Amino acid sequence: MKLQNYIHTHNNILNEKDHQRFITLCDQFDFGKIDRPNGDEFYNMKNTETCRFHVCLSRSGDEEELWNLCHKVMLKTIPIVYSDYEDFLPEEMDLYNKYSGYWLCKYPETGRITYHADLNGDAGSVTVSYGINDDYEGGELRFWKTIDLEKKSNSVHIYPSNFLYPHEVTPVTKGIHYSIVCWFGYEKGQDWSLI
């Protein structure tokens, strides 16, 4: 068994019109200042250095259209999650009915997240990372310090949120990298099934 067999990539998640609109909205969005997560956020990445902009999108106001596009991505992705991991899921449980919110990330040049694992979720939680664009250099999603995932716009990477899947986002060397990150679980987070 190879752990990388449980990292799944799926392409062409949104239609072309929605995908192009997503990129335009990201280019226009005011991300504010570079942030560093603190302990009261959904996922507190202990001993992790970040250099990026990110915001948990609101369903209203200036962020509503971005939120709606994120939600479209996840509506298409959650059935894929169930399919990818169906051999391991309990039959009588809606395992992925909680979520972390939709985290819109912007990695400018030098933007990165150091080596870490997504550990603050449920035992069976999964991470979904949606690559909005691919017109940048660097910014690789790298597992185990050796395996870079394919960088392709309008695609998702899905992987277990646990200590067996340590990863990083390498520094962006040219351009800007946009992504959405969301964690799905069964106890922790907001009730995704009601939105």
Each residue of 101-110: pLDDT tens digit?
Answer: 898 999 988 8
| pLDDT recorded at residue 51 | 58
Per the CB < 8 A criterion, the answer to whether 124 and 186 are in contact is yes
Give the tens place of pLDDT for each residue, 169-195. Answer: 999 999 999 999 999 887 777 787 666
CB atoms within 10 A of CB 92: 5
User: Domain residue spans in the chain?
Assistant: 3-188
Other beta carbons within 10 angstroms of residue 69's beta carbon come to: 22
Predicted confidence at residue 56, as pLDDT, reads: 80
- Which residue bears the tokens 């979720």? 121
Say which residue the tokens 């998640």 belong to. 13
Q: What pLDDT, on the 0 to 100 scale, is given for residue 93?
A: 66
> For residue 14, what pLDDT is reported?
97
* Per-residue confidence (pLDDT) for residue 45, from 0 to 100: 45
Residues of 142-168 as b/e, b for ≥16 C-beta within 10 angstroms? bbeeeeebebebbbbbbbbbbeebebb
Q: CA 50 to CA 43: how far, in whole Å?
A: 13
pLDDT at 111: 86
CATH architecture of 3-188: Sandwich (2.60)
8 Å CB contact between 113 and 52: yes
Listed as ranges, residues in the chain with pLDDT below 70 are 1, 33-52, 92-93, 193-195
